[in-house]
Amino acid sequence: MPQQPAQVIATYSQRMRVRMADRSEAEARIKGKRLRPVCGDFVELEPIANEDEWLITAIQDRRNVLARPNMRGQTEILASNIELLLAVSAPSPKPDWFVVDRYLAAAGIIGVPAAVVFNKTDLDDELADAASYLDEYEAAGYPVLRCSAETGAGIAAIGAEIGEQVAIVVGQSGVGKSSIINELMGGEALRTAEISTKSGEGRHTTVNSVMLDLPGGGHVIDSPGVRDYAPALDSPADVIHGFREIETAGHECRFANCRHLQEPGCAVKAAVDEGSISARRYESYRRLLRLTEELDSKSRS
Ligand code: GDP
Ligand code: ZN
């Protein structure tokens, strides 16, 4: 039987929607119980005799995964093969910049480029508060995209940043993620992806996760699990990869294993003192390092 490479573009409880190499789409089910495909996965398919559905027989190696601990403390993979993370905040609800740092850190740790999106720029009264934080992200090397899903300002620039890549949009509830995705899709209402399944689990199964196609050729993965994503940071040693400006400055520290806390000859502390690294971002690094160390020692005890 011929094998077909395809990409998972939506996951339902037991079924997947896949996109074939020729861009056509089909439904697929999973062979066996051990395979756990997620949105973004490239999979191998086999036809099923006398059925329209395909069988997913294997998952190709993932370039990266967005994962988080689930209720039972196991790591749950939410999506894979991501090329850009957009961390959205807005003047309202009041931004928690530490959370924004954590999103950016999560992207850095899995090796995915990230950008900061600041939405609701039409609410100009509250903009001034955020300006200095946004400047810090720019200084740290992250693209900062200001937009308003309400007026449409800046949306095209987000589309341009995504290009033809697969992007993930994250951020606290209410910042305007769905509104931005809607605008990126040309104002078309978010596809409420529902499929009717002919057998088994009832007539309708709600979607868990879906990859939406943008007019510009890019894609956005939208998933309830991803939206308020709290990154799984299991190794304190990885935290440094989440703060690009600190990681870069750290190459000049006297000790190769410098953690940039109290060590002598620390180039990071020197940069913070002279103001070229934001004291707030440095504090955020220390906080995330401490948090990760606590979780790490708990999981070992
Ligand atoms: P999500 O929870 O991040 O997906 O946020 P939503 O897209 O559901 O938006 C939350 C609320 O913010 C809704 O009432 C939107 O109408 C509103 N909103 C979204 N974008 C903007 C914007 O650019 N400006 C203003 N003023 N309100 C916005
Ligand atoms: Zn150091």
SS (H, E, C) the chain: CCCEEEEEEEECCCEEEEEECCCCEEEEEECCCCCCCCECCEEEEEECCCCCCEEEEEECCCCCEEEEECCCCCEEEEEECCCEEEEEECCCCCCCHHHHHHHHHHHHHCCCCEEEEECCCCCHHHHHHHHHHHHHHHHHCCCEEECCCCCCCCHHHHHHHHCCCEEEEECCCCCCHHHHHHHHCCCCCCCCCEEECCCCCCCEEECCEEEEECCCCCEEEECHHHHCCCCCCCCHHHHHHHCHHHHHHHCCCCCCCCCCCCCCCCHHHHHHHHCCCCHHHHHHHHHHHHHHHHHHHHHHC
Please state the atom number of ligand 1 nearest to the C-alpha of residue 179: 7
C-alpha 253/C-alpha 42 separation (Å) is 41
**What is the whole-number distance in angstroms between the Cα of residue 268 and the centre of ligand 2?**
5
Kindly tell me if the per-residue pLDDT of 191 is higher than 80.
no
Q: Give the number of whichever ligand sits closest to the CA of residue 86.
A: 1
Which are the contacts of 266, defined by CB distance < 8 A and separation ≥ 6?
Answer: 253, 254, 258, 260
Which are the contacts of 255, defined by CB distance < 8 A and separation ≥ 6?
Answer: 263, 265
CA 287 to chain centre: 21
State what percent of residues in the chain have pLDDT above 90: 67
Q: What pLDDT score does 198 carry?
A: 38
C-alpha 116/C-alpha 138 separation (Å) is 9
Q: What is the band of 290 on the pLDDT scale with cuts at 50, 70, 90?
A: very high
Q: Give the number of whichever ligand sits closest to the CA of residue 286.
A: 2
- Asked whether 134 and 116 are in contact (CB, 8 A), the reply is yes
Residue of higher predicted confidence among 200 and 32: 32
How many CB atoms within 10 Å of residue 82? 26
Q: Give the number of whichever ligand sits closest to the CA of residue 256.
A: 2
C-alpha 240/C-alpha 105 separation (Å) is 8
Kindly tell me if the per-residue pLDDT of 203 is higher than 50.
no
Pocket of ligand 1 (CB under 6 A): 119-120, 122-123, 148-150, 171, 173-179
Residue of higher predicted confidence among 267 and 301: 267
CA end-to-end distance (rounded Å), the chain: 50
Q: What pLDDT score does 75 carry?
A: 79
- Asked whether 226 and 234 are in contact (CB, 8 A), the reply is no
pLDDT in tens, 119-168: 999 997 667 789 999 999 999 999 999 999 999 999 999 999 999 999 99
For a pocket test of ligand 1, which of 123, 126, 179, 222 has the largest count of ligand atoms closer than 8 A to its C-beta?
179
Determine the average pLDDT of the residues in 31-46: 93
Kindly tell me if the per-residue pLDDT of 292 is higher than 90.
no
Residue with tokens 């949105």: 39
C-alpha 153/C-alpha 295 separation (Å) is 41
State what percent of residues in the chain have pLDDT above 70: 88
Q: What pLDDT score does 202 carry?
A: 42
Task: Please tell me the residue having the least CA distance from ligand 1 atom 22.
Answer: 120
